[in-house]
Amino acid sequence: MMRGRRLLALTSRAVVALWIGVYLAGPVLAPPPEAESEFETASARLQPRPETPPEPARKPPPPAPEPRAEPEPPQNATPERLGAAEVAAGDRILSGGGAFPVLSCTYEDFASFDAYARAMASLGARFVVVRQRRIVAAIDPATSRFEETEVAKLGGSFSPRARDYTGEPALAPLTRAARERFGAGAVVMMLVPREVDAALFGGIARALASRGDHHEAYREIRGRYQRAPGGGLRLRVDRATRADGGEVAMDLLFDLAEVAGA
């Protein structure tokens, strides 16, 4: 009887100890609902899922076609032929026999102003210092040397239509030196041989007359200097502006080496 009571007591203690152990072990073996839910969520992220096939890469839309520029009309490649009649007509204009439009010509086809200046010098052009409409010195752009004794040699062999390059960056040092020596009003200009301008003026006047126009009805002739085949120099006349502001397209080409010899 005593043995039975002891066995019952030991069995009860063992059962209590087991429940205590289960209770104490509860936080480790059975996480609370929130932790369990979090764990399951984490496990679910690791489960393989059927991958949807990737969408094919979309090609960017083709660029819109650029608007096509209107093709420029072919330019005349044959220089104008000038004879004694055109030279004589141009010489009369230079001598005061009528007004002539201003020539506004660029040298953008040349690599630099220096390259253009050398091409003009090969035709006999000279740089000079002008003050109060009077030539006070010749100047050599290569050495920046003033030659006041050369002024007497710059008489009627040069055109009275000097090229004014005021504001040309390449001539800024020469302009500063000229003003330090000859005063604030001094400017650097280019003189062109008289026969060059005479032939150009006569040729342009002839072209305008062939259209039923007269050169005195215009105020400006625009063009650009170009390299000629073989290293020469050409002048292409593109447009002319009337006295009333209207513009007229032109297409004249002058070989300045031939013009100089005309």
Using one digit for the tens of pLDDT, what is the confidence trace for 242-260?
A: 999 999 999 999 999 888 7
Exposed/middle/buried for 258, CB within 10 Å: 0-12, 13-18, 19+?
Answer: middle
pLDDT higher than threshold 80 for residue 9: no
pLDDT higher than threshold 50 for residue 149: yes
CA separation for the pair 138, 192 (Å, rounded): 13
Using one digit for the tens of pLDDT, what is the confidence trace for 182-203?
A: 999 999 999 999 999 999 999 9
Evaluate whether 140 touches 147 at the Cβ level (below 8 Å): yes
Predicted local distance difference test score (pLDDT) of residue 244: 92
Q: Calculate what percentage of the chain has a pLDDT beyond 90.
A: 44
pLDDT higher than threshold 70 for residue 10: no
Average pLDDT over residues 159-186: 90
pLDDT higher than threshold 80 for residue 156: no
Predicted local distance difference test score (pLDDT) of residue 41: 31
* Average pLDDT value for the chain: 77
Reading the block at residue 233, the tokens are 């120099």
Q: What is the pTM assigned to this prediction?
A: 0.67
Question: CB neighbours (10 Å) of residue 214?
Answer: 11
Predicted local distance difference test score (pLDDT) of residue 22: 34
Predicted local distance difference test score (pLDDT) of residue 251: 92
- 68-72, 203-207, 246-250: the lowest-pLDDT one: 68-72
Q: Please name the residue ranges forming H helices in the chain.
A: 2-29, 33-46, 84-94, 113-121, 172-182, 194-210, 256-261
Predicted local distance difference test score (pLDDT) of residue 142: 80
Predicted local distance difference test score (pLDDT) of residue 193: 92
- 34-38, 130-134, 237-241: the lowest-pLDDT one: 34-38
Predicted local distance difference test score (pLDDT) of residue 55: 62
Confidence of residue 49 (pLDDT cuts 50, 70, 90): very low
Average pLDDT over residues 177-186: 93
Q: Who wins on pLDDT, 13 or 108? A: 108
Cα 165 versus chain centre, distance = 21
